[in-house]
Amino acid sequence: MSDDATPKTTNPLAGLSLTFLAADATAGTAPIAAAAASGGPVAAPVVIVGSGPAGLTAAIYTARANLAPVVIGGVVGGGQLMITSEVENYPGFPDGVQGPELMSLFRRQAERFGARIVDADVDRVELGSRPFRLWAAGVEYHADAVIVATGAEALWIGLESETRLRGRGVSACATCDGFFFRDKEIAVVGGGDSALEEALYLTHFASKIHLIHRRDAFRGSKIMQARAASHPKIQLHLNRTVEEVLGAEHVEGLRLGKTDGPGEEELKLDGLFVAIGHRPNVAVFRDWLETDEKGYLRADGATTASNIDGVFVAGDVDDHRYRQAVTAAGEGCRAAIDVERWLEAQQAQEVQRAQGAPEATASGARTATSR
């Protein structure tokens, strides 16, 4: 340790003294600010787009691999956990942790290893050739490899009362929050398989579930409809819309409108789960990267590689099944390892070209093409 390095924290652990140094919060972004001021591009081996669990985990791993990642995290970073109150199913927090606090810890850990995080939205990308080019807040970024971890956002009804009571009885994730409603009466709104699955899952906790749909029939699969209709804890409310979430400090009920006639009705309950779908954040990448039938980015399955060689995807932007912070973090780890190995393969090919040897094709390599 150098003479001017000041110990900040010392923790005894099984007789060992572990000393950590506080990172300089401004050191990592200084080169970016200088490049922005000069009007020149910011170059990095890896640019990560997104600062949720996937993006920041990828940042931690790539930073520890000395790849000096730049994270373009968005104006409002942190992903869906920033609007999540209590998180009780993330490993390592036996007493639970607030969503924003968890993401703050992710960010601090990434910055500790040298990740440079920019709080801006990506406006445009050019992925047709390397280095890849991205633009955010008027600054151009060049990258040898890109990890897209922009996530997906839950679709909401759009009510002021719904927004006000998010985290106070309003949720969009039964797996995350169902436990908090043990022996409570709650509602699920939606008409597809997601709503039916969430309602059935919540029967493990709630005393009664009101399943609300604006049409006269559900859109979900017949088998899921049959299971929901026959479950003793689920009551169906067809031709009904949620007009207001009732309650001042927490959910106390719903005011429902009718689509098959005049009038309204009220339900007294303790929670509302909105299950009307998710929207992957793929707008700036849609012209370049392949998507599936639901609009999510495609990875090749065995790895996190996209259809463009050198571009990788991780987290909820390519996952419409699990949508959990821990699975997103795992995908961020996978993407970082894939990037590290891909860059090593590229360097090996450059050495071979310089020596005039036949080139070996990197495993999983694809051609950079626009869709």
| 3-state SS class at 210 | strand
User: Helix/strand/coil (H, E, C) string of 140-187?
Assistant: EEEEEEEEECCCEEECCCCCHHHHHCECCCEECCHHHHHHHHCCCEEE
Q: How far apart are CA 112 and CA 315, in angstroms?
A: 22
- Active-site positions read 173, 176-177
Cross-strand bridge partners of residue 70? 47, 116
Query: Quick count: other Cβ atoms within 10 Å of Cβ 362?
Result: 17
The CA distance from 247 to 39, in Å, is 51
CB–CB of 62/145 below 8 Å? no
Residue 301 CB-density burial (10 A; 0-12 exposed, 13-18 middle, 19+ buried) = exposed
